[in-house]
């Protein structure tokens, strides 16, 4: 647990802590520390400090708070009874989290989250005059986390700790496998849905893309775990993954919409030069084949030979008349 350290962070934290303390009146120091993610010593120090703040006519009693034997007491609330308004990033983060959560399986627009979001959006929407005809119920932010049909079934299996037999297609290896997995955590990132699962085949916890699961069936086995899973930290923008540099024609600019890229540099005539992580050689060959004359490979040079070889493999299927 790490607390705020510089003066701005300490004050920021105090300005949300004080109204809350005035509301509850009396509370254990440990509770305050846990709630606001500080150590007890930090809370005590900052509260004792603001208790000494004072201006005429409230010298030394402007903020009536003291800590005694592990309990925080608040007397007459005078100043800082209301929290500071939401900053632009805070308002944005709340709205976005709420809207994203509404996109998750099981969300109910008429439920408490939907109602809370509507109130938040109304407060952040700042409707202007003449706009009554189109009230902005999104407050400017919409989130679309469309999910593959199998997501809900996978999520139910995670909730039940139920083992599944799946057919899984790996695009980096371009192969299909059949394996038993126990889903542990489902998450959405970068436009795709994934499941973290205990994988029988590799005897390890692995991340699978749900839209690449082709068939699914419960085995009937229930495998509880003591080791809950969460979404991995930034797992696919791996710095260790090799990079390719390609030049893309305007007609191929969808590549930067569809795949993560490190850098985009504009060239002439609408062409762009792009540096992008390469999941596998086969993945890059496939991209080059799809783009054909709309791409110029800069590096790595050998990728051109690999793409040509793959093109010949595909062409071999066309040598016989249908």
Closest contact distance (angstroms) between CB of 70 and other proteins is 18
If one asks whether residue 54 binds other proteins (CB under 8 A), the answer comes out as yes
If one asks whether residue 204 binds other proteins (CB under 8 A), the answer comes out as no
3-state secondary structure 199-267: ECCCCEEEEEEHHHEEEEEEEEEECCCCCCCCCCCCCCCCCCCCEEEEEECHHHCHHHHHCCCCEEEEC
If one asks whether residue 141 binds other proteins (CB under 8 A), the answer comes out as yes
Indicate the residue among 185 and 243 with the shorter CB distance to other proteins. Answer: 185
Binding mask 261-280 for other proteins (x = CB under 8 A): ---x-x--------------
One of 131, 178, 217, 262 touching other proteins (CB under 8 A)? 131
Instruction: Specify whether the CB–CB gap between 184 and 158 falls below 8 A.
Output: yes
Write the CA distances from 215 to 164, 168, 195, integer angstroms: 10, 8, 15
One of 64, 103, 200, 273 touching other proteins (CB under 8 A)? 103
Indicate the residue among 186 and 278 with the shorter CB distance to other proteins. Answer: 186
Sign of CA dihedral 23, 28, 32, 35: negative
If one asks whether residue 299 binds other proteins (CB under 8 A), the answer comes out as no
Helices 302-316 and 281-291: crossing angle in degrees, nearest 10, is: 70
If one asks whether residue 90 binds other proteins (CB under 8 A), the answer comes out as yes
One of 39, 66, 115, 225 touching other proteins (CB under 8 A)? 115
> Which two structure tokens, joined as six digits, stand for 230?
């969460």
If one asks whether residue 241 binds other proteins (CB under 8 A), the answer comes out as no
Largest CA distance in the chain: 97
Indicate the residue among 2 and 128 with the shorter CB distance to other proteins. Answer: 128
**Which helix or strand (DSSP H or E) is residue 275 part of?**
strand 272-277
If one asks whether residue 101 binds other proteins (CB under 8 A), the answer comes out as yes
Write the CA distances from 273 to 99, 253, 260, 278, 286, integer angstroms: 34, 10, 14, 15, 18
Residue 23 buriedness (CB in 10 A; 0-12 / 13-18 / 19+): exposed
If one asks whether residue 226 binds other proteins (CB under 8 A), the answer comes out as no
One of 24, 30, 41, 222 touching other proteins (CB under 8 A)? 24
One of 71, 86, 223, 279 touching other proteins (CB under 8 A)? 86
Tokens 């439920």 belong to: 111
One of 98, 208, 277, 284 touching other proteins (CB under 8 A)? 98
Please, which residues have CB within 8 angstroms of residue 7's CB and are 6 or more apart in sequence?
A: none
If one asks whether residue 310 binds other proteins (CB under 8 A), the answer comes out as yes
Closest contact distance (angstroms) between CB of 200 and other proteins is 20
Residue 46 buriedness (CB in 10 A; 0-12 / 13-18 / 19+): buried
Indicate the residue among 203 and 317 with the shorter CB distance to other proteins. Answer: 317
Q: Cα–Cα distance between 113 and 46 in angstroms, integer? A: 34
* Interacting span for other proteins (CB under 8 A) from 53-61, 67-75, 202-210, 217-225: 53-61
Binding mask 161-200 for other proteins (x = CB under 8 A): ------x-x----xxx-------xxxxxxxxx--------
């Amino acid at each position: 647990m790490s607390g705020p350290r510089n003066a701005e962070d300490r004050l920021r934290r105090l300005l949300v802590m004080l109204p809350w303390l005035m509301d509850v009146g009396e509370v254990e120091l440990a509770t305050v520390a846990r709630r606001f993610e500080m150590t007890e010593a930090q809370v005590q120090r900052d509260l004792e400090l603001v208790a000494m703040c004072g201006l005429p006519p409230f010298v030394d009693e402007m903020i009536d708070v003291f800590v005694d034997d592990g309990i925080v007491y608040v007397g007459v609330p005078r100043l800082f009874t209301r929290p500071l308004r939401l900053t632009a990033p805070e308002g944005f983060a709340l709205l976005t989290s709420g809207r994203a959560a509404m996109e998750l399986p099981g969300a109910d627009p008429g439920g408490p989250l939907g109602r809370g979001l509507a109130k938040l959006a109304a407060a952040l929407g700042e409707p202007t005059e003449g706009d009554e005809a189109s009230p902005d119920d999104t407050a400017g932010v919409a989130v679309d986390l469309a999910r593959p049909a199998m997501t809900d079934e996978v999520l139910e299996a995670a909730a039940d700790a139920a083992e599944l037999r799946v057919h899984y297609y790996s695009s980096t290896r371009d192969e299909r496998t059949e394996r038993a997995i126990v889903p542990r955590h489902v998450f959405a990132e970068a436009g795709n849905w994934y499941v973290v699962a205990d994988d029988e085949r590799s005897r390890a916890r692995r991340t699978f893309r749900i839209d690449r699961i082709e068939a699914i069936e419960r085995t009937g086995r229930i495998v509880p775990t003591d080791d809950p899973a969460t979404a991995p930290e930034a797992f696919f923008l791996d710095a260790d993954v090799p990079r390719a540099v390609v030049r893309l024609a305007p007609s191929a600019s969808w590549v930067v919409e569809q795949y993560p890229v490190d850098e985009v540099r504009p060239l002439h005539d609408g062409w762009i030069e792009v540096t992008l992580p390469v999941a596998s050689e086969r993945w890059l060959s496939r991209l080059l084949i799809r783009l054909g004359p709309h791409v110029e490979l800069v590096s790595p040079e050998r990728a051109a030979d690999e793409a040509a070889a793959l093109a010949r493999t595909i062409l071999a299927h066309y040598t016989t008349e249908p």
